[in-house]
Amino acid sequence: MWMASPVTDASISSDRVWEPVHGMNVSVSLASPASVLVTYSLPVGADKPHLPGGDFLNTPGLPSSGLGDFLGSRLVVNGQAYRQSGSHVSPLSSLERTARQLRGMLTLHLPAGEHTVIVQWKRWGNWVRSWYSRPSLSDGFAQGRAVTVGAIYLTLQLSSPLSQAVAARDDEWQDIRGVSVAFSYDPDDPLEPKVAGKS
């Protein structure tokens, strides 16, 4: 397992440009092909001008409303960005500062060798003065960020569709389109599957 959890502050000022988040990059060395699970957690804050009555009472669509501002994040593995790892947040609140959480995950089958994992972020809009990550905030436990990579040297089945899915019926459990996996296992394998709550 590999992890990066920087304690330095980071901020982004460029508009509509993907940039690496400072310190959120990992180099991975695999001795053999493996299924890799990558997860990240990125708490962020937005510093913006004050609007009397808060964002929700101001006219939507105006630059001063803040409704067009977003911050997005994604994972890049070996130079390739993956949409299914993306996350985004909005700065809307009744205060000048707001806190949000960016989170994402990605599962890949990677060959043996050296690999790089990077978390990037990108901002849209210019109403927010700055987006930032400050692990030193408060007592040091308020905005810690981290990216973790775990390698599984067994077959891992996954489904990560990029198609749209819609829940159209009320009060009814529905299958999410494309999110299903069929698998089998050898009952003689010593690594038997476990059921939650049982040993």
pLDDT tens digits, the chain, 199 residues: what are they? 999 999 999 999 888 899 999 999 999 999 999 999 999 999 998 888 776 666 655 555 565 566 778 999 999 999 999 999 999 998 876 555 677 899 999 999 999 999 999 999 999 988 888 899 998 887 777 778 999 999 987 666 666 777 888 887 888 888 888 888 776 666 665 544 444 443 3
Note the pLDDT of residue 47.
84
pLDDT at 182: 75
* pLDDT given for residue 17 in this prediction: 92
Q: What is the CA radius of gyration of the chain?
A: 20
The predicted pLDDT at position 64 comes to: 59
Residues contacting residue 177 through CB under 8 Å, at least 6 positions apart: 161, 163, 164, 165
Q: For tokens 């949409």, what's the residue? A: 83
Ordered by where they begin, the domains of the chain are 2-152 (2.60.120.760)
Give residue 193's pLDDT: 44
42 in Cβ contact with 121 (< 8 Å) = yes
